[in-house]
C-alpha cells in the first residue's frame, strides 16, 4: 500500500536529499531477523546461512523468510522473530546499565514482547523485569510470548502508565517503547501507511507526552530511561525527550557507535535552551538492514517525588501464602524448588524467584495493578495433585525429572493445532506428561487409556496447514 500524499510530503521534509533512496528501500523485501534464546537454543544452530545482527549478540539475519508458524521451535521459545533495528535496545543497556548488579526493570509499553524478551535475556539471576501493556488483548499476547521465552524472572501487568504512580523510584531501568504513528513500519507493515495522518501524529505525540510524564517518577536516582519509537517524526521523537529534559531532572546520555559494525546509524545532537545536550539515534531502512527506529537514553539525576497515598479498595485480598503441604506438592515440579517463594493468586499457584518475590511484594502493594502473570505459573491444585499450567511446561525452571514424551515434527504440529496425536502411545494412564520437540517442551498432555488428551491452550493453537 503506497503512502498517502501528505505522508510523502512529511517524509520528504524529514529526510531531505535522502528521501528518494528511502522511497526505493520501501519497495524492497524487508530483511528477516530473529533472536536466539540462549537459555533454550545455545546447544546447536537452528537455521543455516545466518548473518549476525551487528548490535545484538544473539540476533541473526536469515537469507529468506521460512514458515515460522510451522516451526515447533518457535512455539517452544527457542527464538523470537524480531525486527533487527529494535534489537539496538541491547546497546543502551550494555553501555549504560550495570548488568552485573541486581536491577529492577520496567518495560512500560511492552506488547507484543520482543523488547521484553531481549531485556530479560540481558539481566542476571538477581534482577527482574516487569512488563506492562495497556490494551488487554495485547497484554495477553505479551504474557504468552514471555511464557514461551521461559524466564522465571518476569511479571506481566495490564495497566495504564498512570496507574504505576505509587511505585515512584522503584525501578533502575525503564523502557518506554511508545505507541507511535508507525512511519518506520511502512515497508514491513504496508497497512500502516494507509492509517497514517498528521492528525494521528499529533494524537500520538500527546499520548507519548503523557506516558513520559507518568514514567519519569518511576525511576530511582541514577536510573536509566530508554525511549524509542518506530517513526521518523521529530514531534514524536526528539521533541518528546527534549521536553522531558527541560522540565525534569534528567540528562541525556550518548551511545558509542562502533563505526566498524554499524556506521549508518544516524546520531542527532542539539543543545537545548537550558544548556543540556540532547542525543538521539535514528535507523532508516535505506541506510541499515532493518526498519525505522528512533532511540534515546536519559539518566535521572534526582530523587523521585513521594507518591500520593493510594487508598486500597475494599475487596478480598487476591494473594495467599501457601502452606507446607501445598509447597511440597508444588516443589516436585521445579528444578530448584528452594530458589522460589510460592503464592496463590486468584486460585492459581505461582513460584517466584527470591529476587522477584522481594520486589513483587512491594509492587503488589499498589492495588491498582492487574496481574496477568508473575514468576512461573504452576497451575491449580486438586488435593495434592497439580493440574499444571501451560506456562510451567515452557519455563526454564521446570524439573528435568518430569515425565516427557518426544514428538516428531508432524506430531508436534498436530499438538500445536490442538489435534489428536497419532503414533506410539505410552501405556501408563491417568498421568500428566510434557511433550517436547527436539528436547524443548511445548506443553502438557494427560495420558489416558489408549490416547493422549491434548491440553495445549486453545487460544495459542496454530491454524496454518502444512
Is residue 230 annotated as part of the catalytic site, yes or no? yes
What is the spatial order of strands in the sheet that 440-448 belongs to?
Answer: 404-406, 431-437, 440-448, 451-454
Angle, helices 19-26/5-15, rounded to nearest 10 degrees: 130
Cis ω before 265 (30° cut-off from 0):
no
- Taking only Cα atoms into account, the Rg of the chain, rounded to an integer number of angstroms, comes to 23
From the candidates 56, 128, 158, 230, give the one annotated as an active-site residue. 230
What is the C-alpha to C-alpha distance for residues 369 and 300, in angstroms, rounded to an integer?
24
What is the C-alpha to C-alpha distance for residues 84 and 66, in angstroms, rounded to an integer?
16
Q: Residue 16 — left, alpha, or beta (φ > 0 → left; ψ -120 to 50 → alpha)? A: left
**Contact assessment for residue 3 and residue 11, using Cβ atoms and an 8 Å cutoff:** yes
* Long-range own/partner contacts, residues 419-422 (CB < 8 A, 24 or more apart): 419/454, 420/451, 420/452, 420/454, 421/445, 421/452, 421/454
User: Among 67, 121, 130, which residue's Cα sits nearest to residue 99?
Assistant: 121
H helices present in 1-108, as ranges: 5-15, 19-26, 38-41, 72-75, 89-96
The sign one gets for the Cα dihedral 22, 26, 32, 36 is positive
Count the helix, strand and coil residues of the chain and give each as a percent rounded to the nearest 5. 30, 25, 40
What is the C-alpha to C-alpha distance for residues 2 and 465, in angstroms, rounded to an integer?
31
Catalytic residues: 230
Amino acid at each position: 500500500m503506497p503512502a498517502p500524499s501528505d505522508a510523502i510530503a512529511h517524509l520528504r521534509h524529514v529526510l531531505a536529499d535522502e528521501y528518494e533512496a528511502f522511497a526505493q528501500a520501501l519497495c524492497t523485501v524487508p530483511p528477516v531477523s530473529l533472536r536466539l534464546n540462549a537459555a533454550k537454543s545455545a546447544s546447536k544452530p537452528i537455521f543455516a546461512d545466518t548473518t549476525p545482527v551487528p548490535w545484538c549478540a544473539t540476533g541473526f539475519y536469515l537469507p529468506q523468510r521460512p514458515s515460522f508458524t510451522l516451526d515447533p521451535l518457535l512455539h517452544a521459545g527457542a527464538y523470537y522473530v524480531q525486527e533487527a533495528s529494535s534489537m539496538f535496545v541491547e546497546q543502551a543497556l550494555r553501555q549504560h546499565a550495570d548488568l552485573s548488579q541486581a536491577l529492577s526493570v520496567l518495560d512500560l509499553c511492552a506488547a507484543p514482547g520482543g523488547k521484553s524478551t531481549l531485556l530479560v535475556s540481558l539481566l542476571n539471576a538477581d534482577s527482574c523485569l516487569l512488563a506492562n501493556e495497556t490494551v488487554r488483548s495485547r497484554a495477553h499476547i505479551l504474557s504468552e510470548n514471555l511464557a514461551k521465552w521461559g524466564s522465571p524472572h518476569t511479571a506481566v501487568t495490564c495497566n495504564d502508565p498512570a496507574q504505576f504512580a505509587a511505585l515512584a523510584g522503584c525501578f533502575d531501568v525503564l523502557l518506554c517503547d511508545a505507541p507511535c504513528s508507525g512511519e518506520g513500519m511502512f515497508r514491513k507493515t504496508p497497512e500502516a501507511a494507509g492509517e497514517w495522518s498528521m492528525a494521528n501524529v499529533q494524537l500520538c505525540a500527546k499520548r507519548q507526552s503523557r506516558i513520559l510524564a507518568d514514567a519519569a517518577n518511576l525511576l530511582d536516582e541514577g536510573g536509566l530511561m530508554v525511549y524509542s519509537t518506530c517513526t521518523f517524526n521529530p514531534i514524536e521523537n526528539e521533541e518528546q525527550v527534549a521536553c522531558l529534559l527541560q522540565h525534569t531532572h534528567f540528562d541525556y546520555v550518548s551511545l558509542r557507535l562502533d563505526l566498524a559494525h554499524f556506521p549508518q546509524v544516524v546520531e542527532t545532537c542539539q543543545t537545548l535552551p537550558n544548556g543540556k545536550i540532547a542525543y538521539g539515534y535514528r535507523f532508516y531502512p535505506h541506510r541499515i538492514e532493518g526498519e525505522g527506529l528512533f532511540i534515546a537514553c536519559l539518566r535521572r539525576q534526582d530523587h523521585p517525588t513521594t507518591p500520593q497515598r493510594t487508598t486500597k479498595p475494599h475487596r478480598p485480598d487476591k494473594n495467599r501464602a501457601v502452606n507446607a503441604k501445598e509447597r511440597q506438592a508444588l516443589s516436585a515440579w521445579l528444578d530448584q524448588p528452594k530458589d522460589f517463594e510460592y503464592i496463590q493468586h486468584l486460585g492459581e499457584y505461582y513460584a517466584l524467584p527470591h529476587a522477584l518475590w522481594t520486589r513483587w511484594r512491594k509492587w503488589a502493594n499498589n492495588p491498582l495493578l492487574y496481574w496477568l502473570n508473575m514468576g512461573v505459573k504452576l497451575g491449580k491444585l486438586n488435593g495434592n495433585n497439580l493440574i499444571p499450567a501451560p506456562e510451567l511446561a515452557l519455563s526454564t525452571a521446570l524439573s528435568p525429572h518430569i515425565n516427557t514424551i518426544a514428538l516428531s515434527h508432524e506430531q508436534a504440529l498436530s499438538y500445536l493445532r490442538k489435534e489428536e496425536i497419532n503414533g506410539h502411545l505410552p501405556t501408563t494412564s491417568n498421568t500428566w506428561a510434557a511433550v517436547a520437540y527436539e528436547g524443548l517442551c511445548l506443553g502438557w498432555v494427560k495420558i489416558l487409556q489408549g490416547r493422549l488428551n491434548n491440553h495445549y491452550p486453545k487460544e495459542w493453537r496454530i491454524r496454518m496447514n502444512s
